Each structure stands twice: as structure tokens, then as C-alpha cells.
Amino acid sequence: MKYLIAGLGNIGNEYAHTRHNIGFDVLYAFVSKHGGQFVTDRLAYKAEVKWKGRTFICICPTTYMNLSGKAVKYWMDKEKIEIQNLLVVVDDLALPLEKLRLRAGGSDAGHNGLKDIQATLQTTEYAKLRFGIGNNYPKGRQADFVLSKWLKEEEPLIKLKIDKSVEAIEGFSTIGIAATMNQINNISFSL
């Protein structure tokens, strides 16, 4: 059983630990928990993790957000991973800060990284773990907001949601997407 887990974000220190890079942060937490280590590889930072008889190819594309599909397709093809074993972790402006949402398919919802993956794979039918980042920004300041760092008071909740996202990746591969969706989609996370 082999899985491709892709965390979306942008490379470079100026993007590290911003709202838009939460996909990277979730993958770093998952790989770290399971004793893996990222290396720079083709189109991505890549780590391979083995857990409960499963192999996880974890990638953080180095293509920048808007070309994420190139890295996802390359690693799916190289590792011969079926689309039902692909999970993309991504930030979501439309979701409140206290929410995570796992879906088996669905639209890109205007997210450029998902748009590129959808265009490259020619389908919307792959699993997405959406990490709510809230939308507390003035009109016209969306780009500034998604590229901003978490507020100090948000950090404990973000840490909790990163841990829950790691559990969701584990659940996706063991109990399946439907049962994992039931576990996380209706929860409002709080401290």
C-alpha cells in the first residue's frame, strides 16, 4: 500500500510558516512524527515514511504553488501511485480557523495550487485535506492575508489542528476516507 501525500506551499524563508504554507507544515509534522527526513529531490522536498505496513511518499513541491500539479504528477507516475491514494493538504480561506475538511473530490475552490493539480491530472476526484485559515482581512487584502504569519494567539490552535491533520493522514491510509471524514469534518477545534 503506497500513498502520495502532497503538502502545498511556497519555497523560501519569506513564506515559511505562513497561512498559505500550512500544507508544508502539516507534512513536516507527519514526517517528523514517523521518523522520516526530507531531502531535496526532483520538483519537491521528498520524504519516504513507512508506517503500519504502508509507504508514504511525502512531497512539498518546490515548483511554487501555481505549478504544484507538475510535482504531484511526476511523483504519482514515478512511484506508480493510484489517484485514490493521493491526498493533498492545502490552506482554505473559505473555512473558519477552527475547521478542517477532508473530501474525496470536489472543486479547486479558487485555490491556485489545486487548480494546477486539477488541470495536470485532468480530474477533481482526488482527496483533499483543507485546513481552515479564516478570512479575517480587509477587502482587497487577500494576498497579504494568506502570505501572513499566524497571530500569536492563533498559534496554539494551529498546533492542535496540525496534530489533527497528521491523524487525518493516518486515518486516510488505515480506516479509509469516509470514516476519517466522519471523525474530523464536523468538529470545531478549540483549546
What is the grid cell recorded at 23? 500544507
Mean pLDDT of 157-180: 98
- Residue 13's contacts (CB-CB under 8 Å, 6 or more residues apart) are none
- Alpha-carbon distance of 38 to 103, in angstroms, equals 26
The whole-number pLDDT of residue 6 equals: 98
Instruction: Indicate whether 159 belongs to any domain.
Output: yes
pLDDT (0 to 100) of residue 176: 97
- Please check whether residue 189 lies inside any domain of the structure: no
Q: With H, G, I as helix, E, B as strand and everything else as coil, classify residue 122.
A: coil
Query: How many Å apart are CA 71 and CA 10, to the nearest integer?
Result: 13
Torsion of CA 26, 54, 61, 45, to 10 degrees: 90
- CATH number of the domain residue 30 falls in: 3.40.50.1470
128 by DSSP, 3-state: which?
strand
- Looking at the domain assignment, is residue 20 inside a domain? yes
Instruction: Report pLDDT for 150.
Output: 96
Residues spanned by the domain of 165? 2-184
Q: What is residue 133's predicted lDDT score, i.e. its pLDDT?
A: 97
| Average of per-residue pLDDT across 153-167 | 97
Catalytic residue among 17, 20, 34, 111: 20
Is 20 an active-site residue?
A: yes
190 lies in a domain?
no
Poorest-pLDDT segment among 16-25, 112-121, 135-144: 135-144
Total domains, the chain: 1
Question: How remote is the C-alpha of 10 from its chain's centroid?
Answer: 12
pTM: 0.97
**Position 191 in a domain:** no
pLDDT tens track for 54-97:
999 999 999 999 999 999 999 999 999 999 999 999 999 999 99
- Burial label for 176, CB within 10 Å (0-12, 13-18, 19+), is exposed
Nine-digit cell at 50?
A: 513507512
pLDDT value for 40: 98
